[in-house]
Amino acid sequence: MLSAPKGTHDLLPEALATWQYFENTARSIMERANFHEIRTPLFEATSLFERGVGDTTDIVNKEMYTFEKGDRQLTLRPENTAGVVRAYIQHGMDRCPKPVKLYYLGPMFRYERPQAGRQRQFHQAGVELFGLDTPQSDASVILLAWDLFTTLGIPDLALEINNVGCFDCRDDFKNQLRAILLPFKDSLCEDCQKRYETNPLRMLDCKSEKCKAIYASEAVANFLEADHTCEACQQHFNALLIILTQCNIQFHHNKMLVRGLDYYTRTVFEITSTHLGAQNAVCGGGRYNGLVKTLGGPDTPAVGWALGVERLISLIPPQHPASLDFYIASDDPGSALLLAQQIQHQGFSVEVDLSGKNLGKQLTQANKLQAGQVIILGETERQQNQITLKDMAKGLQETVDKDSFLTSLKRPPVSSVLR
């Protein structure tokens, strides 16, 4: 029997109710903050991710789905910041009024061991803000994520935040980190020994217990607790913390927080929930001031975040598919379909018998579908331009003028409900 590939899953109607609730809430909150949706291709040139994400990262080295077509090497997108930056450059969005504020929702692809909340095809939502290098812009995207999670009712949120510095002070920090860890190098795990040479910041994110013990040792811990960033980066970070405090956002300055991608500068952060267990991050992001220039665009500061939808969905109380408003029971399919269309145009859900059942069996079907009301459109009703309306919950029914019934149907548009 054919089945979905390992690490992928089907989203069935009963599960999609919760997904759609999240998506509608996210779109509403992002658009109220004047972020605009962007949709980029599911695959891009492999070089985009090698240059943008970083050729020393696990994503590029171990997790990308890459294939060749003709003389081109293409990759299913493992994340979307690089693709959004590529679109920003390609379409000359640097000429737009600043800041340029974009958001996205969609599938990503990484080859890794499937586990709870982490699949080979997974979904992310994220925001990117281009054109400003201010603490206020950092705070605005953090507050946007916090607003989303609190609106969704995500429990026990915590903000972890750190300052990894600009490229200059970060390079100095890398060299000092190598020097302090040199006596421990042979005791590090295999991955950290490689990262020691290629990407020493990533060592601080290691999950190996023996590496954690080394980084917690007195000499290393004292080094990490000191501030190794330049004065400008310190001022930026301190101003950000003041704004977060003013906005009543509690945070923990976690100096071990580095994030897993090479493009981050200055601010990095994660929002966590204790209800997710050891892998407790629901959102991560930060500032990436050099990425636009690295990918061939003008020197443009930027900041953003992404969240894993599957992980977030696990924290949202299950939503239920919308109930069926009306079931039309009739012995005349054409009249029933016409009436159904007229009711649907008013924003209500309608089901019509398409199999040729008699009226009795249609009423049984309406009951199985838990329709709120049944419209009986028999020969007598059609001749008198009427309908018989039956409330299934109360067991009451009445015959009314069809045109008056259609005129009385009013439902506010979805946009006003969301806002």
Task: Give residue limits of the domains in the chain.
Answer: 13-166+229-313, 173-228, 326-418
Which residues have C-beta within 8 Å of that of residue 271, sequence separation ≥ 6? 142, 145, 146, 149, 157, 158, 159, 160, 281, 282, 283, 284
Per DSSP, helices labelled H in 247-332 are 291-294, 309-313
State how far the Cα of 302 lies from the Cα of 99, in Å rounded to an integer: 9
* Amino acid identity at 120: R
Instruction: Write the secondary structure of 103-167 as one string of H (helix), E (strand) and C (coil).
Output: EEEEEEECCCCCECCECCEEEEEEEEEECCCCHHHHHHHHHHHHHHHHHHCCCCEEEEEEECCCH
Q: 3-state DSSP call for residue 61?
A: helix
pLDDT of residue 56: 67
Alpha-carbon span 223 to 226, nearest angstrom: 6
- Distance CA(20)–CA(213), nearest Å, equals 43
Which uninterrupted H or E stretch holds 245? helix 231-246
**Cβ 268 vs Cβ 257: under 8 Å:** yes
**47 with 54: CB under 8 angstroms?**
no
Degrees, nearest 5: CA angle 250-255-256: 115
Quote the pLDDT of residue 415.
36
Pairing relation of β-strands 157-163 and 251-253? parallel
pLDDT recorded at residue 260? 60
Question: How far from 353 is each of 155, 188, 228, 419, CA to CA, in Å?
Answer: 44, 68, 71, 35
CA-CA distances (angstroms) from residue 96 to 36, 92, 100, 329?
13, 8, 7, 55
Query: Taking a C-beta distance cutoff of 8 angstroms, is the pair 244, 150 a contact?
Result: no
State the architecture of 326-418 in CATH terms: 3-Layer(aba) Sandwich (3.40)
Q: According to the model, what pLDDT value does residue 418 have?
A: 29
CB 360 within 8 A of CB 329: no
Assign a CATH topology to domain 13-166+229-313: BirA Bifunctional Protein; domain 2 (3.30.930)
**Cα dist from 242 to 233, 249, 304, 331, whole Å:** 14, 10, 19, 70
Q: For residue 275, what pLDDT is reported?
A: 78
285 by Cβ neighbours in 10 Å (0-12 / 13-18 / 19+) ranks as buried
pTM: 0.85
Mean pLDDT per 10-residue interval, the chain, length 419 residues = 90 91 96 97 94 78 88 94 96 96 96 79 97 97 96 93 88 84 87 83 81 85 82 95 96 83 85 80 92 94 96 90 92 94 93 91 92 93 93 87 89 39
- Under DSSP, the state recorded for 40 is -
